[in-house]
Structure 1
């Protein structure tokens, strides 16, 4: 076995094993709701709050005959990006849909729903309030079942929260404390909630403002190990991620009880829940200290995050106010980067799950995003990005292919060394190394370009899988979603036969190859034909099967990734062919193809 073939087999086998292990051990899971699981019935917040003096209490229920959340009067939310409502019971922001995103490619499919009220399906909502301290108790501050009033400037029309028209809620307790809450929103996904209290009670009061995001019941997730879904928070530059199934295992906290993770943030931070493409996050104003709380309330199967601001002492006759931001929307890179750079939300871009190869995924996506803005198509942007990557790696590729060409030229001399050495392996290695040194050939350089493709391959897969910009992004013709597998199928002759392709959950799905996976297999096969097949039967068999194994393995991967791999193979083939010809070695592609078929016929006859 010559060294060139050894290196090529080593590199190809390593790529194969890594991708095969990833694909087989950690396939994407389609998690469905268990029909036997009881539906969560709740008409209240499961907000667990702690008073500033350290006492604990849990507000819950629609006590005292309060209006149920589902039937409560509401204030509509209407922006270019969002549509929803705010419940006047508790002042919850609890109904929110994303206008510009649909559940499926069908333009008539419903918009993506982000927040849902308590008492319905998958309750997910945000609340703001004051935790009492000192002489105050929970009846003295607005809580989960407080019925707020709207301050209306125009009595002839219902108030609507828009970017141009904030809304103000008010509530007064029996002792002369007047609470006001002004809610405003921009044209994207950022709410601004300003809470204010007027102390006309005649004595100093003590209380702490907070915001809380609540999810009742464990949310349905994608369930793929390369993607984090759950709590995401930043605390003075330190990013933390907590999966939903890890929250019940959180250690107990003296003040917050079991299953709580409490962190003190000195200046900059945020905390909330992230899904694959969507996120709801509480953000105290930059420079504001606060307590960041991640908590699981087992009694109600509730997951929640809280941003508790420092306790305030408000003297009689004084007014205190505080502002908290809340992001609720799509994790668009440009939008989130704007909030980070222009609003001062530290590390907000890291709310996107860039993964362990963040030093590659971030620049890869930034370039891809720029190319898409220039070309207007993510598919062509992926192909252009592939060209750029190959251009960057060209010096190494050139050196590699020159070395391969020289190895071909040295083949007769290497055969002579093998004949002279006989069974003396030590002598064989010494003479081979001397020959390599004399001719300035590095036998290991042949596999380096392929090995470097592995982290790039994984990074691009991560980018395609997690970034919303690739979601439902079309390329050409039948490829309408580069984040999804090729929808065509060889089993129905690519749509010519009158029946649908197998569903992704079907066992036959792996055989349901589309056009792109087939082109991938062909491109790998042609790349092999730049060199004659190895004389060793085992090597020849490995080489013969490798393209088609990869074709089936990657067939159910995102179309964008398969497109990248096809473009990469095509460019690599062209580079290798031209460089090897420039060094005097002329690859006989068509001859190698003919010989591979002739060898098969000969083997069949034998």
Structure 2
């Protein structure tokens, strides 16, 4: 197999990969119940029940809002129920060169995305009839300079029971602890159950062929490390799973995620439901009974922020898996770590991508050398193979036997030219996901006109240069292809690749361009060495 056929193979594999990813996004199979977990029926009788047995999907709100600010988060909380109805990520701009921060949680007419939590059960203060109006000591709370933590309590009194909902935020952290302390000063036991859920409009995931991103639900439970559960899945069937040790319920989008993590002992319930065009995914903690004169605290954690792997992993087990590298995660994850390490040294993600490309292609140099050596040997055998075809005619069985004997005699592996390509493709696909999923590349500048490595090249310079280098590789690799149709396909291949890469993130195009340049250099050096050994490359 010669170099131009290898290019055709790369193209077919690459396009097949893109089509597979899009198909996987569109068809996303339904998760099955794990262990003792069973699917709830679609009637709406799901594990987010209030004391009267109905799910909490209350849409009411008040004008009594408070703000909570740290160095990385600006939260708006509605004191009716104590829900977080807005979350601004202060370290991330909304648009490139914008002075406005990125808003992850929001409560606007065309997009509702909020983090709700409360108490249900016999002595709960939330029900389908309404939410409790909590009281705050001020309208605004800010983490002061020099302090590491900020505590914001909201209080409520009912039937001799004091309820205190406390938000605990730490400097530099996107993990918000939300605790409910119940102080039972009545003469009867108090039974409560805490729930925490994410609410969002049912919407399209926003995926495309070149940008297969995902917006929707995801979860982790005892027997499931990480699983997506799309809005379409939620509409088809309500999810109901038990969490005995580790788990969380999340909503994801490109680069960002919010997730509720139950804390404490006992079995929690993970659920989904839909209502009035909204999708819900959440957790329900075990029922807690507080004796008269006693108090207890129910604890959860809300992650609301970017997909920062180390911080998420420290917050909850398997939460870092929301950085979805696909089935080649075992390659993509080390590549991302290496890329981050290089960027820490050079201070520029584009330069880091270039250095990473040289490292990856350098590591694969033995495969590349074996590929071109095999191709050179195959070219030398072409006259003998042609004479064999003319001599044996249509006798394919004898032709196959004599070809194998010739390969064995000349010590040539007929797959030696394409096998290295097949081994290199997983590297490229893994790096594709590493770059696609890295929030660090969002709005990261390179040089000149490239101000955002996560967006396409605005002037298409990199894709055009990539196509030109691909054309040069093709010209440097004279082909033995004689079929006119195959020749036309090979001629058109750089054009097709250029068209695809017009819409790819510029960071990925930069990798492919540099990879092509390295290929041209390696190809020249290898061909010269082979010609000195008497192996003709043309």
1:229 to 187, 190, 215: 215
2:186 to 198, 201, 206: 201
Residue in structure 1 matched with residue 436 of structure 2 by the alignment: 465
Matches of 1:577 and 1:587, distance apart in 2: 14
Q: Could you tell me how far 1:402 is from its partner in structure 2?
A: 1.8
Q: Could you tell me how far 1:327 is from its partner in structure 2?
A: 0.5
Matches of 2:517 and 2:327, distance apart in 1: 29
Matches of 2:197 and 2:21, distance apart in 1: 34
Provide Cα deviations, 1:372-395, integer angstroms capped at 9, x if missing partner.
222222212222222222233222
Residue in structure 1 matched with residue 11 of structure 2 by the alignment: 16
Closer/same/farther in 2, CA of residues 397 and 57 from structure 1, 3 Å limit: closer
1:266 aligned to 2:255?
A: no
1:145 aligned to 2:134?
A: no
Residue in structure 2 matched with residue 99 of structure 1 by the alignment: 90
Closer/same/farther in 2, CA of residues 335 and 317 from structure 1, 3 Å limit: same
1:285 aligned to 2:263?
A: yes
1:246 aligned to 2:233?
A: yes
Residue in structure 2 matched with residue 500 of structure 1 by the alignment: none
1:212 aligned to 2:197?
A: yes
Query: Superposed, which structure 2 residues align to 1:164-179 within 5 Å?
Result: 164-173=149-158, 175-179=159-163
TM-score by length of 1: 0.77
Matches of 1:171 and 1:534, distance apart in 2: 82
Matches of 1:355 and 1:459, distance apart in 2: 8
Q: Could you tell me how far 1:78 is from its partner in structure 2?
A: 1.2
Closer/same/farther in 2, CA of residues 198 and 373 from structure 1, 3 Å limit: same
Closer/same/farther in 2, CA of residues 383 and 159 from structure 1, 3 Å limit: closer
**Does the CA-based 8 Å contact 1:177-1:197 persist in structure 2?**
yes
Provide Cα deviations, 1:282-328, integer angstroms capped at 9, x if missing partner.
1112765311112212xx22211222111112111111112111111
Closer/same/farther in 2, CA of residues 401 and 25 from structure 1, 3 Å limit: closer
Residue in structure 2 matched with residue 381 of structure 1 by the alignment: 352
Residue in structure 1 matched with residue 461 of structure 2 by the alignment: 515
1:302 aligned to 2:290?
A: no
Matches of 2:457 and 2:519, distance apart in 1: 23
Q: Secondary structure at the match of 2:327?
A: coil
Q: Secondary structure at the match of 1:90?
A: coil
Q: Could you tell me how far 1:196 is from its partner in structure 2?
A: 0.8
Q: Compare 142-151 and 443-452 and name the one that shifted more.
A: 142-151
Provide Cα deviations, 1:479-500, integer angstroms capped at 9, x if missing partner.
1112211111xxxxxxxxxxxx
Closer/same/farther in 2, CA of residues 522 and 244 from structure 1, 3 Å limit: same
2:295 to 306, 315, 319: 319
Matches of 1:554 and 1:111, distance apart in 2: 30
Provide Cα deviations, 1:39-70, integer angstroms capped at 9, x if missing partner.
xxxxxxxx984247x833647365xxxxx52x
Q: Secondary structure at the match of 1:104?
A: coil
Aligned residue pairs, count: 507
Matches of 2:116 and 2:7, distance apart in 1: 54
Provide Cα deviations, 1:115-146, integer angstroms capped at 9, x if missing partner.
223x644222222221123xx4757x898532
Q: Could you tell me how far 1:456 is from its partner in structure 2?
A: 2.5
Q: Could you tell me how far 1:453 is from its partner in structure 2?
A: 3.0
Provide Cα deviations, 1:560-604, integer angstroms capped at 9, x if missing partner.
222111222222222232223222368999xx8xxxxxxxxxxxx
**Does the CA-based 8 Å contact 1:26-1:224 persist in structure 2?**
no
Matches of 1:407 and 1:533, distance apart in 2: 12
Structure 2 residue runs without a partner (length 5+): 24-45
Residue in structure 1 matched with residue 113 of structure 2 by the alignment: 124
Matches of 1:442 and 1:167, distance apart in 2: 70
Q: Secondary structure at the match of 2:418?
A: helix
Q: Secondary structure at the match of 2:242?
A: strand
In terms of Rg, which structure is larger? 1
Matches of 1:315 and 1:535, distance apart in 2: 84
Residue in structure 2 matched with residue 492 of structure 1 by the alignment: none
Closer/same/farther in 2, CA of residues 410 and 219 from structure 1, 3 Å limit: closer
Closer/same/farther in 2, CA of residues 399 and 58 from structure 1, 3 Å limit: closer
Query: Superposed, which structure 2 residues align to 1:584-595 within 5 Å?
Result: 584=531
2:103 to 113, 122, 127: 113
Q: Could you tell me how far 1:414 is from its partner in structure 2?
A: 3.8
Q: Secondary structure at the match of 2:325?
A: coil
Residue in structure 2 matched with residue 86 of structure 1 by the alignment: 77
Q: Could you tell me how far 1:249 is from its partner in structure 2?
A: 0.7
RMSD: 3.0
Matches of 1:448 and 1:568, distance apart in 2: 18
Provide Cα deviations, 1:259-296, integer angstroms capped at 9, x if missing partner.
x2111111111112111122111111276531111221
1:77 to 43, 65, 68: 68
1:531 aligned to 2:509?
A: no
Residue in structure 2 matched with residue 405 of structure 1 by the alignment: 376
